Amino acid sequence: YINRLLCRDDIHCIDQIRMMPVSFYELCNILTRYNLVRQIKNISVKEQGLLFVHCLGHNVRFVLVGRFHRSSETCHRYFKIVLNAVLKLYKYVVRSPDDSTPLEIMNSRRFYPYFKDCVGARDGTHFASVPLEIQGRFRGRKGGATQNVLSTIIFDLKFTYVLAGWEGSAHDSRILNSALLRYRAIQPTGKFYLGDVGYGVRPGIISPYRGVRYHLNEFSKERSPENEKELFNLRHSFLRTTIELGFGILKKHFRVLDVEPFWSFATQVDVVLACCVIHNHIMGVDPNDPVVQ
């Protein structure tokens, strides 16, 4: 089954493990090279990796992974092994941006030099979450029980910071305040991220003007910007679509983030971080991945 899945064709591989074979093989190479996952008995690193990414891509319970011909207990054990291994890659794969001006800004007269110190966008998103016994405080504004995840994304659609595990009911600005106390959330000196209006005015965050047209669908050829504030908001909104696109690709790769999970909450938090690690891995190895397109 494993060889048939990886060798049949790219579309079938994407359907099953949500990435191209080249990205999967390179992930296995990294896990092996750094001795993070080892072959145990008759279960290869490749099989352990396939089991893991298949579960993330489809949110299937271990008892349903029958095509691997392993018991649910075995599937659970190796899922945890690979999960812990992928988490160890976080600090190497989810990294702060450098000080250079992104090409997406440098090469555009609309954005340069006005946004030359912008390195990405910062926002929160909600992922399906949490065990029944703690759902009350995780119930968000839209009614569902979710965890609110703060992330920063740069213009090549890679995550540079992820803070998972907050209640869906928590306000984004409160989560950002917590993030700013953590070293990994600090942006390069003299640089800034784009944020939504809820973040207000604070160091390292540029928000749009309040009470002024902002969203792209509020502008058109017939309704072009009428003053400098509207022009700023339009360009801010255009650049900030990066983070919405990044979140969309992440959820498209990993169905586990968008449906009710079946793990403990601590594991759910780890799964969010692991999905972001693998997302960055895919974007680095195969930026033309069909899911991205």
- Residue 146: partners with Cβ closer than 8 Å, 6 or more residues away: 126, 127, 128, 129, 130, 138, 139, 140, 168
Same domain for 64 and 117: no
176 has pLDDT over 60: yes
Token code pair at residue 113? 């030099």
CA distance linking residue 284 with residue 281, whole number of Å: 5
What is the arithmetic mean of pLDDT over 142-168? 88
pTM exceeds 0.85, yes or no: yes
Most distant CA pair in the chain, distance: 69
Q: Assess whether 154 and 197 both reside in one domain.
A: yes
My answer on whether 127 and 178 are in the same domain is yes
Sheet holding 205-206: strands in order across?
A: 159-167, 146-153, 118-128, 192-194, 205-206
Asked, for residue 137, whether it belongs to a domain, the answer is yes
Which residue range is the domain that position 185 belongs to? 97-261
Look at residue 47 and tell me if it is in a domain. Answer: yes
Please check whether residues 134 and 75 belong to one and the same domain. no
- Asked if 70 and 125 sit in the same domain, the reply is no
Residue 220: CA atoms inside 13 Å, Cβ hemisphere, count?
4
pLDDT (tens digit per residue) in 215-263: 888 888 778 999 999 999 999 999 999 999 999 999 999 988 887 767 8
Q: Are residues 46 and 144 in the same domain?
A: no
Q: What is the number of structural domains in the chain?
A: 2
Q: Is the pLDDT of residue 168 over 70?
A: yes
Is there a single domain that holds both residue 32 and residue 153? no
User: Could you tell me if residue 246 is inside a domain?
Assistant: yes
In this prediction, residue 63 carries a pLDDT of 45
Residue reference for tokens 């942006």: 187
pLDDT of residue 282: 97
